[in-house]
Every structure is written in structure tokens, then in C-alpha cells.
């Protein structure tokens, strides 16, 4: 049974040019009704599935702090009401934007047990912030982190991006230098992916999105790894770096191919071998919850083969790789037997390393991870 919960808040006060997550402008939205619908879905999930005490919660978006402090408190109270949140709760993360969280909101988060904040910084370059559609300024980053520390939050993670339009290596170096000055516990750093239904996608189609070359992006990633290591951040996953003991416990549940509840409009979950997606449009989600206590839009029961594939391409995202023993315990077949051909080819290409206990990416494989993952999607 799942011991993790993801809750989606789809409201934003502005829409970033690269974002393809399920989100809507806050103004004019039925936010109170949405908060009530979340409560109904949480109650239904708790009633339908016997749940062990919850170990991790992640509230993302959208922008969770687009909710008022009172609305936010109702969401947190619902989680406490319907699920067992005791000493087993190791990590409770909420996403916040620089300059976009109030003292009242921080007080509510702290008082209800949130112990980790994820701060969407992306870059410290004012030109690039404007270019990607962010509304905060660099000084907002420092102020938000200082206020979070004053409120007692001692586990902070910052999101960074590279490969941005017109971003140079010098600009990325400057962002890294400023990021390390924050002395936080964790970083997530992602290269820009231009997704459909975004402002950037439309600009790219018109030839108006000047992106760095693949080689330039790879050099930025190499610099990222080098500098993170130099400053004492351990790379434990392709895009994630942490001080010792501050790895994201919630995300590790995803990468370990374990089950979790997905709550809210457009949320995805994984329960009893079924991956599901909730209804995306906010009004339709509220209506379906209110009338039928039903949020799911689609559900797919994974075959044994699909579960094994996911075990490999998600597990290999972590630098510790996939455990041979865990794979055998779950599927009753040796990993090296199931994927003998793929493993031999990838090892020969020096993209993976096979140890007595695990299969994991080499340093070369980290840079060519998608090529590695593709090999496990088709089994002859």
C-alpha cells in the first residue's frame, strides 16, 4: 500500500513560458470549491485503501502558495484528518516561489508539520528570469530563504535550470556561484525541455527561440556536476544533488517504482499496480468529485513486463542504480537474465556498470541516460 501522497494545486498567478504542468490562472477560479474537492478525494482514498502511516507528502503545482493561508490550512488539515501522520512522516515538502510566500503561509506550513520547502529559483539572471516568464527578482530569492530560515525550516531545496534561451556558460557559472552562497541542503537542476502547449513551443515553431546547442548544454551539465561535487553536494540522481542525509525521500519513492497516492486535478498516482491520471480541468474535476467521488480520467494496470521496464528506467536514474536482489524479490527472475542482451551491449559501450549487487550508470552513461533507458523499453 502507498506510504506517499502527492497533492496537486493547479493555480498560478502567472504562467511560466516553459511550464506544461496542469495549471490555470488563479483569478476567477473556484479555489474554495477545489479545496473542498481535495478533502473529498483524500477521504475517499483513505476509505478505499488500507493505508500504513504516511512517510512522505509532496504538495506541488501550479503554485501551492497561490492559495491563501486559510485555504492552505484547510488542505493541510484534511491530510491530518484522513491519514495517519505521526513519527513515521519523514518528509513533507511544499513548493513555494521566491517572493510568493507570506509569513502567515509559512507559519501555517510549519505548524502543520511541513518540514521541507522547494523553491523555484531557476536562475539568478534577471534577463533570463524575464525571458522564461518568471516574475521574481534575484533579491526575492535571498529574502524568501532568510524568512524560511527564521521560521525554522532547515531543509530547503532549490530548482535550477540550464540550457535556457540565450543562456551562456558565463551566465550559468554566475547562477551556480550565487546558488552555492545560499548554503541550502539540496538542489534539483534540469535542462530545459520544450514541451507542447507552452509559450516556448510556439516560439520554437516560429524560429524565435535561440537555444544553446546540444554540446553547450552538455558542457553546462558537466560544469553543474563538477561544481556540485566541489561544494559538497552528492549527486544521487541524474538531476538531483544533496548534502548527506538530505536526499528527497519522496522522489526516491518514485524512482524506486513504489506506489503513491496522486490527489488533485491532473495528478498521477500508482496504486495496486495501476497507474492512473486524474481529470485535468479544474471545473470538471470538482464536478466529478462532488457528484461521483471519482477523480480518475484514465487508469492502466501494468503488466509484469511493464513494471520491470519501469523498474529499470526509473531506478537507473539514481546513481546507486537498480538492486539485483530487489528486482528478483519483486519479479522472481534475475535482472541480468531478464535483460542479458541489453546489459551486455550497454556494458560494452561503457554506459552501465554491473557490480555483484547492482546495475548502474557509468559517468558516461549519466550523460547519455535517455539512450540507456530506451534499451529497456523493448524486450525481445
Which residue among 255, 284, 305 closes a domain? Answer: 255
Same domain for 227 and 333, yes or no, is no
pLDDT digits (tens, 9 = 90+) for 149-203: 999 999 999 999 999 999 999 999 999 999 999 999 999 999 988 888 778 878 8
Mean pLDDT calculated for residue range 115-135: 92
pLDDT at 22: 65
**Has residue 17 got a pLDDT over 80?**
no
pLDDT at 151: 97
Per the domain annotation, does 111 fall within a domain?
yes
Same domain for 251 and 326, yes or no, is no
Which residue among 255, 272, 307 closes a domain? Answer: 255
Per the domain annotation, does 206 fall within a domain?
yes
Per the domain annotation, does 118 fall within a domain?
yes
- pLDDT band per the 50, 70, 90 thresholds, residue 268: very high
**Has residue 328 got a pLDDT over 70?**
yes
pLDDT at 203: 84
Mean pLDDT calculated for residue range 6-12: 94
pLDDT digits (tens, 9 = 90+) for 282-293: 999 999 999 998
pLDDT at 132: 85
Per the domain annotation, does 315 fall within a domain?
no
**Has residue 25 got a pLDDT over 80?**
no
Same domain for 33 and 111, yes or no, is yes
pLDDT digits (tens, 9 = 90+) for 85-101: 988 999 999 999 999 99
* Displacement of CA 230 from its chain's centroid (Å): 25
Same domain for 23 and 137, yes or no, is yes
pLDDT at 176: 98
Per the domain annotation, does 309 fall within a domain?
no
- Average pLDDT score over the chain: 93
Per the domain annotation, does 364 fall within a domain?
yes
The phi-psi region of residue 334 (left if phi > 0; otherwise alpha if psi is between -120 and 50; otherwise beta) is: beta
User: Which cell numbers in the block locate residue 373?
Assistant: 533507458
Per the domain annotation, does 29 fall within a domain?
yes
* CATH number, domain with residue 176: 3.80.30.20
The domain in which residue 60 lies consists of 4-255
- Poorest-pLDDT segment among 10-19, 111-120, 214-223: 10-19
Which residue among 255, 275, 310 closes a domain? Answer: 255
Split into its structural domains, the chain has a count of 2
pLDDT at 20: 67
Per the domain annotation, does 261 fall within a domain?
no
- pLDDT band per the 50, 70, 90 thresholds, residue 241: very high
Amino acid at each position: 500500500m502507498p506510504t506517499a501522497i502527492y497533492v496537486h494545486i493547479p493555480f498560478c498567478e502567472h504562467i511560466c513560458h516553459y511550464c506544461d504542468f496542469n495549471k490555470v490562472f488563479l483569478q476567477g477560479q473556484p479555489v474554495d470549491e477545489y479545496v473542498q474537492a481535495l478533502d473529498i478525494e483524500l477521504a475517499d482514498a483513505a476509505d478505499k485503501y488500507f493505508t500504513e502511516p504516511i512517510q512522505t507528502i509532496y504538495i506541488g503545482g501550479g503554485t501551492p502558495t497561490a492559495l491563501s493561508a486559510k485555504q492552505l490550512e484547510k488542505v493541510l488539515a484534511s491530510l491530518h484528518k484522513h491519514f495517519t501522520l505521526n513519527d513515521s512522516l519523514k518528509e513533507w515538502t511544499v513548493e513555494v516561489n521566491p517572493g510568493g510566500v507570506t509569513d502567515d503561509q509559512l507559519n501555517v506550513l510549519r505548524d502543520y508539520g511541513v518540514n521541507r520547502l522547494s523553491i523555484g529559483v531557476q536562475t539568478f539572471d534577471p534577463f533570463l528570469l524575464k525571458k522564461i516568464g518568471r516574475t521574481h527578482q534575484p533579491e526575492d530569492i535571498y529574502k524568501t530563504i532568510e524568512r524560511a530560515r527564521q521560521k525554522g525550516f532547515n531543509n530547503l531545496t532549490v530548482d535550477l535550470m540550464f540550457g535556457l534561451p540565450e543562456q551562456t556558460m558565463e551566465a550559468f557559472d554566475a547562477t551556480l556561484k550565487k546558488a552555492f552562497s545560499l548554503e541550502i541542503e539540496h538542489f534539483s537542476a534540469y535542462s530545459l525541455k520544450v514541451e507542447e502547449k507552452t509559450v516556448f513551443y510556439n516560439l520554437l515553431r516560429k524560429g524565435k527561440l535561440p537555444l544553446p546547442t546540444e554540446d553547450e548544454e552538455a558542457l553546462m551539465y558537466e560544469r553543474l556536476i563538477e561544481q556540485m561535487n566541489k561544494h559538497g553536494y552528492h549527486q544521487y540522481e541524474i538531476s538531483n544533488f544533496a548534502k548527506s542525509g538530505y536526499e528527497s525521500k519522496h522522489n526516491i519513492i518514485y524512482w524506486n517504482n513504489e506506489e503513491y497516492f496522486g490527489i488533485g486535478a491532473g495528478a498521477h498516482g500508482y496504486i495496486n499496480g495501476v497507474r492512473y491520471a486524474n481529470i485535468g480541468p479544474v471545473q470538471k474535476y470538482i464536478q466529478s468529485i462532488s457528484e461521483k467521488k471519482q477523480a480518475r480520467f484514465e487508469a492502466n494496470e501494468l503488466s509484469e513486463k511493464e513494471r520491470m521496464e519501469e523498474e529499470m528506467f526509473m531506478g537507473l536514474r539514481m546513481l546507486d542504480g537498480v538492486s539485483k536482489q530487489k528486482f528478483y524479490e519483486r519479479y522472481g527472475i534475475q535482472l541480468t537474465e531478464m535483460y542479458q542482451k541489453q546489459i551486455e551491449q550497454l556494458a560494452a559501450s561503457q554506459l552501465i556498470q554491473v557490480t555483484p549487487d547492482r546495475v548502474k550508470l557509468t559517468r558516461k552513461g549519466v550523460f547519455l541516460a535517455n539512450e540507456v533507458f530506451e534499451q529497456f523499453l523493448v524486450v525481445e
